[in-house]
């Protein structure tokens, strides 16, 4: 089990720009960099939607109230360990 945090949006490792109202997230730099087909250019990583047939998503569930929703993985979290996830503020507040 990892830690769930939130961060302010802007330009992501995938090269796109998102604002804080999106349901997006970042995965750990270790996982992002080790993804099959990853390259030194972070915005060409297969995690990123344009380079992947199926955009990578994660389902987030709050066990206290059973609220569930999906986020798109669009970024790389430098301060996260492999099981952590860093959510956009809108996604974090939905919990």
pTM: 0.86
The pLDDT, as a whole number, for residue 55 is 72
Cα–Cα dist 77/24, whole Å:
12
Cα–Cα dist 81/1, whole Å:
11
Domains, in order of start, for the chain: 4-94 (2.40.40.10)
The pLDDT, as a whole number, for residue 49 is 67
The pLDDT, as a whole number, for residue 78 is 94
The pLDDT, as a whole number, for residue 54 is 60
Contact between 71 and 60 under an 8 Å Cβ cutoff? The reply is: yes
Chain segment 24-72, per-residue pLDDT in tens: 999 999 999 998 888 888 888 888 865 455 678 899 998 899 989 999 9
């Amino acid at each position: 089990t990892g830690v769930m945090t939130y961060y302010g949006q802007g330009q992501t490792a995938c090269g796109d720009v998102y604002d804080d109202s999106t349901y997006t997230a970042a995965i750990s730099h270790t996982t992002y960099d080790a993804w099959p087909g990853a390259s030194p250019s972070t915005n060409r990583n297969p995690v990123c939607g344009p380079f992947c047939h199926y955009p990578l998503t994660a389902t987030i569930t709050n066990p206290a109230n059973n609220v569930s929703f999906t986020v798109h993985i669009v970024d790389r979290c430098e301060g996260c360990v492999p099981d952590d996830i860093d959510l956009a503020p809108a996604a974090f507040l939905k919990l």
